[in-house]
Amino acid sequence: MSPAAAKKVRPKYLSLQALIFQIRLPLPGWVSILHRISGALLFVSLVWLLWMLDRSLSSEAAFERIRHYASLWPVKLALLVLIWAYSHHVCAGIRHLFLDLDKGIDLKTARLTSVMVFVVSLGFTAFLGWKLW
Amino acid sequence: MSRVVTGAGYGLTDWLAQRITATIMAVYSIIALVVILSGLPITYAVWKDFFSQGWMRVATLLFMASLAWHAWVGVRDILMDYIKPDGLRLTLQVCTLLTIAAYLGWTIQILWR
């Protein structure tokens, strides 16, 4: 290691505090951190989604109860958040696959594709929200 | 040689697996979306029949198996980034694996009831 490189201690990763309070994150950065947050949210929420699938397939009465449950506004809202999380995760994931192939890594394209991720995922969430309820 | 306990290996396999499983889930999502938007009134009978078909059971299981592997890589990455004490990180990683195993077992139970 050269002396210059040894002197400078570089952070290995960004702390959550730094991400939230110190750094003004550019749009591709938001796509990235929301990719992570949406993934974690989906993983944790899977127990709830599986529970609903389990109940809805268990009997006709239970199916109707779940249908009623899903029509309550806090449940709808939570489901919409998860639909957004899934949409964002998929869109950001597709963008990531292109980045893996060295496509769209220049600043201009990277910004454009991150705008696209937000437009498509939020638009799709709004569309499904309108379609399903 | 000094080694840091991370509770996981590194390398191409996980990186590749995360991408392949993502593609499988994306394809399943398109199928699910087509069904949802087909405009078919979803009654209990329709719902039950749909999940009783052999191909749908296998596809859903394949989706969940993909999710299991994909989520393991993803959650492990998050834990490696933010949880610094080795013992706590390993504990959380074991909890994650147990949760994933439970998710998979439950899915099989739901599908082949």
Cβ under 8 Å to A: B residues 4-63: 19, 22, 26, 29, 36-37, 44, 47-48, 51
Cβ–Cβ under 8 Å, residues A114 and A74: no
Q: How far apart are CA A94 and CA A88, in angstroms?
A: 10
Is it the case that residue B55 has pLDDT exceeding 70?
Answer: yes
Report how far residue A79's alpha carbon sits from residue A65's, in angstroms, rounded to the nearest whole number. 16
Q: Averaged over B14-28, what is the pLDDT?
A: 95
pLDDT of residue A12: 65
Closest C-alpha to A33, from B59, B107, B103, B82: B82
Percent of chain B at pLDDT exceeding 90? 75
Please say if the pLDDT value at position B100 is more than 70: yes
Interchain CB distance below 8 Å, A90 and B26: yes
- Cα separation, A25 vs A96, in Å, equals 18
Domain ranges of chain A: 24-132
> What is the reported pTM?
0.86
Q: Are A106 and A114 in contact (CB under 8 A)?
A: no
Residues A63 and A71 sit within 8 Å (Cβ to Cβ): no
Q: B81: which chain A residues are within 8 Å (Cβ-Cβ)?
A: 13
- At B110 the pLDDT is 97
Q: What is the mean pLDDT of residues A62-85?
A: 96
Q: Which CATH class is domain A24-132?
A: mainly alpha
Give the mutation candidate from A41, A57, A65, A121 for the B interface (greatest B CB count, under 10 A): A57
What whole-number percentage of chain A has pLDDT above 90?
74
